[in-house]
């Protein structure tokens, strides 16, 4: 969890904003690492770290012997940010939209074979199972099916579920959420999708399955988010490795 007050992060933020406001324009090369090093009064490693993070988000690409090319292009906005774990609540704030969450179901369960297969939780442990309808500007966009391990996230209530569960986990329980694995698929709609989402003639939804690990390496959350296809986009940034041999 990189603090926002580190030196490399400040440089990262500064370069990022200068790319976004076109101080450095697309296609151009950034000033060389040596120049940036003296400009920011830091070591070359620190500049390189900031640049590496920009490259991970698709703002620049480094070219051996040439320089660092800006390839940023202002995109259509997505509901979710690049490669970061971001809650619906946080995303809505970032987009400046009004969000609302309804909780039609909040129950405690014991994991059986069927749930185990879907969630990867061990059979027999106690969990919370929550259904949440995510609305933005009066439109129901997502149905979340949340499964939380009760031993890791005790004290969850329906009231908390209406707000940000992540807030509760981080601030009240002091669990630092570190890593999430995600799988994106497309599935047939089910009755619940039909009931809550305005799907028009779509018979599919975009499904994002989240597996979240805490600091002990325990997977304590499985969430399946079922999205209205016409309001769903998932952005990604990839780097090509030189092919082997």
Question: Under the rule (CB under 7 A), what is the footprint of DNA?
Answer: 2-3, 6-9, 29-30, 32-35, 41-46, 48-49, 51, 62-68, 176, 215
In the list DNA, a second copy, none, the entry touching 69 (Cβ below 5 to 8 angstroms by class) is: a second copy
Question: Is the CB of residue 127 less than 8 Å from the CB of residue 121?
Answer: yes
In the list DNA, a second copy, none, the entry touching 199 (Cβ below 5 to 8 angstroms by class) is: none
* 3 counts as binding a second copy under rule CB under 8 A: yes
d(CA 105, CA 132): 7
Which residues, in sequence order, are CB contacts of 13 under 8 Å at separation 6+?
Answer: 4
Q: Of all helices (H) and strands (E), which one includes residue 195?
A: helix 191-196
| Shortest distance in whole angstroms from residue 9 CB to DNA | 7
Beta carbons within 10 angstroms of residue 64's beta carbon:
5
Alpha carbon 41 to its chain's center: 33
| Shortest distance in whole angstroms from residue 239 CB to DNA | 11
Beta carbons within 10 angstroms of residue 232's beta carbon:
20
Which phi and psi angles does 48 have, rounded to 5°?
-60, -35
- Which residues 156-215 are close enough to bind a second copy by CB under 8 A? 170, 176-188, 201-206, 213, 215
In the list DNA, a second copy, none, the entry touching 71 (Cβ below 5 to 8 angstroms by class) is: a second copy
| Shortest distance in whole angstroms from residue 189 CB to DNA | 42
Give, in order, the Cα–Cα distances in Å from 238 to each of 179, 184, 188, 226.
19, 16, 28, 25
In the list DNA, a second copy, none, the entry touching 190 (Cβ below 5 to 8 angstroms by class) is: none
d(CA 163, CA 168): 9
| Shortest distance in whole angstroms from residue 105 CB to a second copy | 25
Q: What is the DSSP letter of 243?
A: P
- Which residues 57-76 are close enough to bind a second copy by CB under 8 A? 58, 61, 63-64, 66, 69-71, 73
Residues that bind a second copy in the complex, under the rule CB under 8 A? 1-4, 26-27, 55, 58, 61, 63-64, 66, 69-71, 73, 78, 83-85, 90, 120, 170, 176-188, 201-206, 213, 215-218, 227, 229, 232-244
């Amino acid at each position: 969890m990189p603090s926002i007050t580190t030196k490399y992060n400040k440089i990262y933020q500064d370069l990022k904003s200068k790319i976004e406001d076109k101080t450095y324009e697309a296609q151009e090369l950034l000033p060389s690492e040596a120049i940036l090093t003296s400009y920011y009064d830091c070591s070359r490693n620190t500049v390189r770290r900031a640049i590496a993070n920009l490259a991970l988000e698709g703002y620049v690409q480094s070219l051996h012997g040439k320089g660092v090319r800006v390839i940023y292009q202002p995109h259509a906005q997505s509901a979710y940010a690049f490669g970061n774990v971001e809650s619906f609540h946080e995303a809505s704030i970032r987009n400046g939209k009004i969000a609302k969450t309804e909780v039609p179901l909040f129950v405690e369960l014991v994991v059986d074979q069927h749930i185990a297969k879907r969630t990867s939780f061990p059979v027999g442990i106690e969990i919370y199972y929550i259904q949440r309808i995510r609305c933005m500007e009066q439109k129901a966009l997502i149905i979340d099916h949340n499964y939380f391990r009760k031993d890791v996230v005790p004290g969850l209530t329906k009231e908390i579920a209406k707000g940000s569960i992540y807030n509760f986990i981080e601030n009240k329980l002091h669990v630092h959420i570190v890593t999430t694995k995600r799988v994106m698929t497309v599935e047939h709609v089910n009755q619940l999708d039909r009931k809550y989402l305005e799907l028009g003639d779509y018979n599919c939804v975009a499904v994002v399955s989240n597996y979240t690990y805490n600091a002990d390496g325990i997977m304590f959350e499985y969430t399946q988010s079922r999205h209205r296809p016409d309001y769903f986009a998932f952005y990604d940034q990839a780097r090509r490795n030189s092919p082997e041999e």
